[in-house]
Amino acid sequence: NAGVTQTPKFQVLKTGQSMTLQCAQDMNHNSMYWYRQDPGMGLRLIYYSASEGTTDKGEVPNGYNVSRLNKREFSLRLESAAPSQTSVYFCASNRDRGVGWSNQPQHFGDGTRLSIL
């Protein structure tokens, strides 16, 4: 099983450019998440989606938009990239309903390393 797949793995952008980070999971999970991780800051939640068609802001949503295209896919878009958005971005998913749902961990993709010049 592929689990959570993120593309691209690396990207360099210039300030003001736009791009979309893609995430797909094949575990039939309801919930999906986008985090950014910066040195010393831990994982900070950008947006999450509890189900297809719903999205909610996390701790640091400014400058980002998301789309939950279907149950499998959750994309993150930077409309006008800024140097402050240089970071490692992780997508995650988990099952949050059914028997034993509260014991289900989040599963992470390999991350996208994004540099904005």
Partner 1 sequence: QKEVEQNSGPLSVPEGAIASLNCTYSDRGSQSFFWYRQYSGKSPELIMFIYSNGDKEDGRFTAQLNKASQYVSLLIRDSQPSDSATYLCAVNKGNTGNQFYFGTGTSLTVIP
> Which of 13, 23, 33, 66: binder of partner 1 (CB under 8 A)?
33
| Residues 67-106 contacting partner 1, CB under 8 A | 90, 94, 96, 102-106
- Residues 23 and 74: beta-carbon distance below 8 Å: yes
Helix (H, G, I), strand (E, B) or coil at 84: helix
If one asks whether residue 56 binds partner 1 (CB under 8 A), the answer comes out as yes
Give the Å distances, CA to CA, from 85 to 2, 12, 52, 63. Answer: 27, 11, 26, 8
Residue 77 burial (CB count, 10 A):
13
User: Cβ 58 to partner 1, closest distance in Å?
Assistant: 7
Residue ranges in contact with partner 1 by CB under 8 A: 31, 33, 40-43, 45, 48, 50, 56, 58, 90, 94, 96, 102-111
